Amino acid sequence: MREMRHVMNRIEEPSYTDITALFSSTVEDVKREHPEALIKLATPKNSGAQVPSVVEPDIRELVTNSTSATDDDNPVVTIEAEQTEDDWVTVTITDNGPGLPEIEAEVLETGEEGPLKHGKGLGLWLVRMITKQAGGDIAVTTTGKGTEIKLTIPTKFRTQFTQV
């Protein structure tokens, strides 16, 4: 609950962070918890893309889930960012796990749950809420060889441009 209040305060007071720095700190934190994980990082060189700081817990939650979800002793997670010409950043997180259960993928993409149909925890629901509040979107692709989650997030420039 405390984490949720903290996130809500950050949404109300927008700040921005460099996507490369966000990825680096996330990888460092997750590697401390999961030293066995191979986390590959790919960011656009010198992109300077500034994304809402509020999405930092999203990235961390998804990377942590990806490293924890695999039955393999050596989980492999790839984090990539691509900046589009229209000032969005697409963050793609892929893993070699068994694949995100359909209900969890649905929670991420639609946010819809019910008494007989709901996710296992608050983590993915919170990822969806934060991403949507930041003006972004989520897409999930699951196969038997892993999961790919794409967050499309507006950059600082796009956010400022659309608020004028």
Tell me the average confidence (pLDDT) per consecutive run of 10 residues in the chain, 164 residues long: 52 77 92 92 74 91 88 88 86 91 83 54 81 91 89 74 42
Per-residue HEC secondary structure of the chain comes to: CHHHHHHHHHHHCCCEEEHHHHHHHHHHHHHHHCCCCEEEEECCCCCCCEEEHHHHHHHHHHHHHHHHHCCCCCCEEEEEEEECCCCEEEEEEEECCCCCCHHHHHHHHHCCCECCECCCCCHHHHHHHHHHHCCCEEEEEEECCEEEEEEEEECHHHHHHHHC
CATH class of the structural domain 2-163: alpha beta
Domain boundaries, the chain: 2-163
The predicted-structure confidence for 25-60, as pLDDT tens digits, reads as follows 999 999 999 999 999 988 766 567 888 899 999 999
pTM: 0.82
